[in-house]
Amino acid sequence: MKAFFTNLMARWKFLILPALAKLGFWGVGIIALIDASTLPVPMDLILAGYIWADKAHFWVYCLMASAGSAIGGLLPYGLGRAGGELFLLKRVNRERFEKMRDRFERQEFLAVLVPSMLPPPTPWKAFVFAAGVFEMRVVPFLLAVFFGRMVRWLVLSLLVVKLGPGAVSVVGELIHAHLGIFLGALVLIFAAIGVWALRKRRNGKKPSPELLP
């Protein structure tokens, strides 16, 4: 089995990936789809190469990569929806599972949008899997991934145009050097989202003036 996967990754790296890279816009979309669904690839680095070679059409590459990532994300999303509940219930009790569901449903769009905007080492597939487990609707899911990825890769494009392809390495080094700060910022973002969603929910429950005695 190990030899099979080693051979598969070698074929992907030396045969399939270079072939897809020659397809231009469509190749970016297909690579992003594969990255989101199954085999992880250095998507930022690949996209940076395309953008540096064709700066005038950077937005098209971002658009195709975002669409491919959203469609590819349907696989881990579908796995979560098909059997993720049983998977989680083997690891947490029912009470905790329901609390997790409630928290996710209060902010489901942002819970997918924000991780889609963030670079590695954000555990993106875990959030996508959770979206399936907690039965997020397909269209909002696709939109959240698409817009999150679009923001991420448009920012990357601006950095690449300004600094060159090395911008990917610079960002990666900054994240690894300040991993604690990055993770702390991620926690703060989700805490802020949770507070915002809770306030919105409470405000929505307030009776209108016409109903007051």
Give the C-alpha separation, 68 to 61, whole Å.
10
Chain-centre distance for alpha carbon 4: 28
Look up residue 127 and give its amino acid. F
Query: What DSSP element (H or E) covers 1?
Result: none
pLDDT tens column, 110-162: 889 888 988 877 889 988 998 998 889 999 999 999 999 999 999 888 888 88
Per-residue model confidence as pLDDT tens digits over 26-84? 889 999 999 999 888 888 888 888 888 889 999 999 999 999 999 999 999 999 999 88
Confidence of residue 19 (pLDDT cuts 50, 70, 90): low
pLDDT of residue 138: 95
Instruction: Read off the pLDDT of each residue in 10-22 and give the average, rounded to a whole number.
Output: 60
d(CA 92, CA 202): 28
The pair of three-digit structure tokens given for residue 35, joined into one six-digit string: 């990255």
Domain boundary assignment for the chain: 2-211
- Between helices 108-117 and 179-204, what is the axis angle to 10°? 160
pLDDT of 165 reads 74
Which span out of 146-150, 174-178, 184-188 was modeled with the highest average pLDDT? 146-150
For residue 170 the two structure tokens come to 């610079």
Give the separation between CA 153 and CA 65, rounded to whole angstroms. Answer: 8
Helix (H, G, I), strand (E, B) or coil at 69: helix
- CA 149 – CA 70 distance, rounded (Å): 8
**Model-wide pTM > 0.85:** no
CB 103 within 8 A of CB 194: yes
